[in-house]
């Protein structure tokens, strides 16, 4: 709120049409920044255009009548503060108003020429906290791919590169999912980037969803995860952009702001009863409220909802070696345990970890890479055990593993 007041504080010098005494903008009216953005494009805006073009951003919190009153009040305040003038029925920014816009949205030079550019670039950048980024990066928000990439990068703390391919972004999300599987206890130390097959990486990245599953393609994975993180009902760019802006507007309005629309009332009731969680964008999604298991994997056996506990690399490796010793076959010095059997024993013995199968297998690969355990492949495939061999397979780079070696 303080930053907003500073952004909208007019310069001491006023234009010819602006009063010399410039009152401060009321800090209790944060939506004025939206109004200033709308009238700051070429040609300004009428009061009716302000109401019409900004209505969709506030309709989840304000009724049409409430928004019309708020817009009228905001326009009057901007004029009184010396940030706008009204001429021939159109509101235009003053020099101080244009400067306040540039400072509020972290932009230099000319403001976007059209409302579409302002809405899809500068407003969305401000909503995502990207107002200080370069103009080239902000411009990427106008494309569906750039918008989805930047939404996910902000949500999961990834480097901001809006021009990344879906393939590369999937790899980075898979690493995030693997870090979470280890309870974020080895963040920055993983070597999983690019080692898994595309399908395994996609399944692993899919664990970041509130409803983990195989999304089929990298593009669908990115689109669905971005929509989920923003709280968008659909995955198209328009729905995603609207969800981002509405969430931002919700942070501007007081928590007790009146809500008259039926949809917003239903959402508020759902939040209160725990049916949906507004913290998904902030904290990242997890399993659903009922504790259901991923659709693509068998989940932990006998699990009831409880606090999530994840093992670090050392604890995980110790548990795997202990369990592998109980299900291993062979002779001393050459004992091996099928990965599928180790998985079944782990999910029975440590249900509090709440691991899915794809998480477990990728964690095994990382533990092998780190030298904590040793995996082996099935050179000679017995027809009697072909089902277990297939269920145990972990494809990593140019190798397929089926066993955990047991050291006696």
Instruction: Give residue 340's pLDDT band: very low, low, confident or very high (50, 70, 90).
Output: very high
Range with the poorest average pLDDT among 38-42, 75-79, 177-181, 289-293 = 289-293
Task: Please give the Cα distance from 395 to 168 (Å, whole number).
Answer: 19
Please tell me which residue, 88 or 133, carries the higher pLDDT value: 88
Task: Please give the Cα distance from 235 to 220 (Å, whole number).
Answer: 9
Range with the poorest average pLDDT among 17-26, 303-312, 366-375 = 17-26
pLDDT for the residue numbered 242: 97
Instruction: Give residue 191's pLDDT band: very low, low, confident or very high (50, 70, 90).
Output: low
Task: Please give the Cα distance from 293 to 17 (Å, whole number).
Answer: 64
Mean pLDDT of 73-80: 94
Instruction: Give residue 215's pLDDT band: very low, low, confident or very high (50, 70, 90).
Output: very high
pLDDT > 70: percent of the chain: 77
pLDDT for the residue numbered 194: 64
| Backbone angle region of 254, left / alpha / beta, with phi > 0 → left and psi within -120 to 50 → alpha | beta
Burial class of residue 372 in the structure, from the number of CB atoms within 10 Å of its CB (0-12 exposed, 13-18 middle, 19+ buried):
middle
How is domain 313-406 classified at the CATH fold level? Arc Repressor Mutant, subunit A (1.10.10)
pLDDT for the residue numbered 4: 38
Contacts of 139 (CB under 8 A, 6+ apart): 121, 146
pLDDT for the residue numbered 333: 82
pLDDT for the residue numbered 307: 55
pTM for this entry:
0.78
Mean pLDDT of 349-356: 94
Q: Beta partners for 337?
A: 404
Mean pLDDT of 107-136: 88
pLDDT at 274 over 50: no
pLDDT tens digits, one per residue of 221-250: 999 999 999 999 999 999 999 999 999 999
Question: Mean pLDDT over all residues of the chain?
Answer: 81
Task: Please give the Cα distance from 161 to 172 (Å, whole number).
Answer: 12
pLDDT > 90: percent of the chain: 62
Range with the poorest average pLDDT among 93-107, 274-288, 293-307 = 274-288
Write phi, then psi, for 82 (nearest 5 degrees). Answer: 80, 15
pLDDT for the residue numbered 228: 97
Rounded to 10 deg, the angle between the 64-80 and 32-39 helix axes is: 70
pLDDT tens digits, one per residue of 192-212: 556 889 999 999 999 999 999
pLDDT at 377 over 70: yes
pLDDT at 257 over 90: no
> By C-alpha distance, which of 385, 371, 398, 397 is closest to 339?
385
Place of tokens 């609207």: 242
Domain ranges of the chain: 2-128, 143-283, 313-406
Task: Please give the Cα distance from 132 to 112 (Å, whole number).
Answer: 16
pLDDT at 256 over 50: no
pLDDT at 276 over 90: no
* Helices within 188-232 (DSSP H only): 198-205, 218-230
pLDDT at 303 over 50: no
Mean pLDDT of 330-346: 93
Instruction: Give residue 190's pLDDT band: very low, low, confident or very high (50, 70, 90).
Output: low
pLDDT at 77 over 70: yes
pLDDT for the residue numbered 185: 85
């Amino acid at each position: 709120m303080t930053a907003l007041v500073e952004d909208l504080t007019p310069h001491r010098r006023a234009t010819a049409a602006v009063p010399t005494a410039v009152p401060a903008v009321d800090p209790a009216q944060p939506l004025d920044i939206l109004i200033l953005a709308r009238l700051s494009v070429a040609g300004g805006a009428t009061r009716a255009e302000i109401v019409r073009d900004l209505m969709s951003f506030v309709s989840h919190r304000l009724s049409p009548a409430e928004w019309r009153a708020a817009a009228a009040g905001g326009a009057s305040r901007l004029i009184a503060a010396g940030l706008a003038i009204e001429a021939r029925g159109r509101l235009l920014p003053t020099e101080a108003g244009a400067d306040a816009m540039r400072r509020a949205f972290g932009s230099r030079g000319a403001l976007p020429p059209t409302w579409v550019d302002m809405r899809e670039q500068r407003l969305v950048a401000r909503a995502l906290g990207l107002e200080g980024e370069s103009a080239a990066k902000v411009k990427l928000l106008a494309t569906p791919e750039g918008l989805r990439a930047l939404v996910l990068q902000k949500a999961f703390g990834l480097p901001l590169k809006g021009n990344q391919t879906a393939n590369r972004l999937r790899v980075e999300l898979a690493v995030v999912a693997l870090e979470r599987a280890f309870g974020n206890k080895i963040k920055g130390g993983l070597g999983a980037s690019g080692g898994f097959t595309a399908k395994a990486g996609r399944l692993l990245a899919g664990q970041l969803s509130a409803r983990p599953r195989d999304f089929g393609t990298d593009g669908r994975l990115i689109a669905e995860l971005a929509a989920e993180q923003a709280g968008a009902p659909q995955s198209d760019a328009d729905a995603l952009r609207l969800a981002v802006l509405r969430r931002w507007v919700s942070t501007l309005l007081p928590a007790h702001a009146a809500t008259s629309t039926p949809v917003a009332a239903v959402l508020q009731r759902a939040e209160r009863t725990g049916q949906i969680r507004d913290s998904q964008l902030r904290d990242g999604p997890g399993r659903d409220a009922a504790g259901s298991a991923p659709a693509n994997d068998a989940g932990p056996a006998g699990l009831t909802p409880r606090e999530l506990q994840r093992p670090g690399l050392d604890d995980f490796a110790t548990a795997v070696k202990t369990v592998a010793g109980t299900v291993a076959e062979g002779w001393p010095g050459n004992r091996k345990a099928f990965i599928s059997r180790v998985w079944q024993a782990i999910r029975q013995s440590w249900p509090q970890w709440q691991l899915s199968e794809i998480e477990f297998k990728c964690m095994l690969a990382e533990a092998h890479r780190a030298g904590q355990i040793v995996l082996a492949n099935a050179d000679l495939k017995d027809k009697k055990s072909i089902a277990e061999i297939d269920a145990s397979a972990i494809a990593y780079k140019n190798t397929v593993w089926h066993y955990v070696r047991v050291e006696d």
